[in-house]
């Protein structure tokens, strides 16, 4: 070993030979091939581009992003930010992006929770439970998502009208107008309390890190949950109470042929969310199961030998190791869910695809419309990838 490394020739590359202009020289061939391929690709794109320019001229289609500032005149049923048809196309597209993000974020959270629970249940020692979850996964994964979305939408539309709405709890109504939930009037005090809660979570995380560091130093475990309770629940409550604890419930009620008040979940959004969640949960379940199975049986046995109960083995020993296997495929599932949310257009939920599609139909500017869709999804995909890669390196095995 030391002999090799001390050898002065070690690590030297062979001397560079001058390239010969001959077909028998590998490097020359490589350069010729690359030039040929790039030239062909460039020629194809140039041809398409020149056709497009000519077609746009002939059909008198304007190009450029000027239409973004014009009045959209397209109605949008549900929106996170205030919007009306007299707003510009830019605002309409923004509403679309926010609607996409809304369904994607809620969907990712719900699918992760449901999928993880199902993945653990799939490995249950209870035969009925594991078979039941297995059957669910098989059915959900072998049917096209679009079919499932149409199915859920049809089921929701087949529900009785508001007057005969299903009413499982006070203030909760499920009808063909969607889901109605009790809510409350959102006041400034609530915003402050929410802020306090976020700060509390951050402080708790810092506290936990310090507690762990001190436990590493002296071996004494410290309780984190009382602090967490105080910071995450107590402090926001105190902030809310300090402002007079305002609370005015907004419970939906039936008036005439429709509901008044409350929080509305439209049938389109509800069907999309249910479909996406159930579908993606099926895939996440299998990923979690494979991840847990990938942890060596010896880890279970060693942790058991230390006297840890099964639940703690799972939480402290197996899951942290399984996460390393789980995270990369999970990332692609999150990306899939986000991209699949574009199927919303088939059931009439107005996400970015739906609104961009209407825009391009109204303005005739197909290239810009589709470019907008692609740009939005590329940005979202890239952000999720970057975040998950960061998380993945954080939990990756620190090797010596």
Partner 1 sequence: MSVTVNHTPSPALPPPSRVMAGGPLGWVRANLLNGPINAAVTLLLAYLVVRYAISFIDWAFIHAIWEVPNDRFGRPDTALCRDNKGIGACWAVIGEKHRFILFGTYPYEEHWRPAIVCVLFIALYIVSAMRRFWRKELVLVWVATLTIIGILMWGGVFGLSYVPQERWGGLPITLILATFGLAFAFPLAILVALGRRSRLPAIKALCVLYVELIRGVPLISLLFMASVMFPLFLPEGMNIDKLLRAQVAIILFAGAYLAEVVRAGLQALPKGQYEAADALGLSYWQKTGFIILPQALRLVIPPLVNTFIGFFKDTSLVLIIGIFDLLTAAKTSIIEPQWQGFAVEVYVTVGLIYFIFCFAMSKYSAGLEAELNRHRVR
Residues of this chain that bind partner 1 (CB under 8 A): 30, 33-34, 37-38, 41, 48, 51-52, 54-56, 58, 125-129, 132, 138-139, 141-147, 150-151, 154-155, 157-158, 339-340, 342-343, 345-346, 353, 357, 360, 366-367, 369-370, 373-374, 377-378, 381-382
Q: Which helix (H) or strand (E) element contains residue 183?
A: strand 183-184
Write down the least CB distance from residue 149 to partner 1, Å.
10
Write down the least CB distance from residue 128 to partner 1, Å.
5
Write down the least CB distance from residue 52 to partner 1, Å.
5
Establish how many alpha carbons lie within 13 A of residue 57's alpha carbon, considering only the half-sphere containing its beta carbon. Answer: 6
Nearest C-alpha neighbor of 321 from the set 363, 287, 292, 282: 292
Nearest C-alpha neighbor of 88 from the set 104, 102, 114, 69: 69
Residue spans of alpha helices (H) in the chain: 2-6, 26-58, 89-122, 127-141, 145-157, 188-218, 225-229, 235-242, 267-294, 297-305, 310-312, 319-340, 344-347, 352-363, 366-395
Q: Which helix (H) or strand (E) element contains residue 181?
A: strand 178-181
Which lies closer to partner 1 via its Cβ, residue 196 or residue 314? 314
Which lies closer to partner 1 via its Cβ, residue 261 or residue 329? 329
DSSP-derived secondary structure for 243-261: TT----EE--EEETTEEES
Q: What's the CA gap between 91 and 101, in Å, rounded?
A: 15
Which lies closer to partner 1 via its Cβ, residue 204 or residue 363? 363
Which lies closer to partner 1 via its Cβ, residue 157 or residue 191? 157
Write down the least CB distance from residue 278 to partner 1, Å.
13
For residues 357 and 344, the answer to whether their CB atoms sit within 8 Å is no
DSSP state of 17: P
Which lies closer to partner 1 via its Cβ, residue 58 or residue 213? 58
For residues 347 and 153, the answer to whether their CB atoms sit within 8 Å is yes
Which lies closer to partner 1 via its Cβ, residue 111 or residue 231? 111
Write down the least CB distance from residue 90 to partner 1, Å.
19
Write down the least CB distance from residue 78 to partner 1, Å.
20
Which lies closer to partner 1 via its Cβ, residue 30 or residue 320? 30
Write down the least CB distance from residue 121 to partner 1, Å.
10
């Amino acid at each position: 070993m030391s002999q090799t490394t001390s050898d002065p020739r070690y690590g030297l590359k062979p001397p560079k030979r001058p390239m010969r202009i001959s077909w028998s020289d590998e490097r020359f061939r490589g350069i010729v091939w690359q030039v040929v391929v790039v030239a062909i690709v460039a020629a194809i794109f140039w041809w398409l581009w020149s056709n497009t320019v000519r077609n746009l001229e002939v059909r008198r289609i304007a190009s450029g992003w000027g239409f973004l500032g014009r009045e959209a005149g397209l109605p949008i049923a549900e929106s996170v930010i205030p919007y009306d048809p007299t707003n510009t196309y830019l605002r309409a597209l923004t509403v679309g992006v926010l609607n996409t993000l809304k369904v994607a974020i809620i969907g990712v959270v719900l699918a992760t929770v449901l999928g993880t629970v199902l993945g653990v249940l799939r490995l249950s020692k209870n035969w009925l439970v594991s078979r039941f979850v297995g059957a669910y996964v098989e059915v959900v994964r072998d049917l096209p998502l679009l079919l499932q979305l149409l199915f859920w939408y049809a089921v929701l539309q087949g529900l009785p009208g508001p007057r005969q709405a299903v009413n499982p709890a006070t203030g909760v109504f499920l009808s063909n107008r969607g889901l109605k939930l009790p809510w409350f009037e959102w006041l400034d005090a609530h915003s402050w309390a929410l802020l306090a809660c976020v700060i509390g979570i951050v402080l708790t995380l810092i506290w936990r890190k310090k507690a762990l560091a001190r436990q590493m130093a002296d071996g004494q475990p410290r309780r984190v949950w009382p602090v967490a309770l105080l910071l995450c629940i107590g402090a926001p409550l105190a902030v809310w109470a300090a402002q007079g604890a305002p609370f005015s419930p907004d419970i939906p009620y039936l008036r005439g042929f429709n509901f008044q008040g409350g929080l509305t979940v439209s049938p389109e959004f509800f069907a999309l969310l249910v479909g996406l969640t159930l579908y993606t949960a099926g895939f996440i379940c299998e990923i979690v199961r494979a991840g847990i199975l990938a942890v060596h049986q010896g880890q279970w046995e060693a942790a058991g030998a230390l006297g840890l109960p099964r639940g703690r083995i799972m939480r402290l020993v197996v899951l942290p190791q399984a996460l390393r296997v789980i995270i990369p495929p999970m990332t692609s599932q999150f990306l899939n869910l986000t991209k699949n949310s574009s199927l919303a257009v088939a059931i009439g939920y107005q996400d970015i695809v739906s609104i961009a599609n209407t825009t391009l139909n109204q303005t005739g500017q197909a290239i810009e419309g589709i470019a907008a869709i692609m740009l939005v999804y590329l940005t979202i995909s890239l952000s999720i990838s970057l975040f998950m890669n960061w998380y993945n390196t954080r939990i990756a095995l620190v090797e010596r």
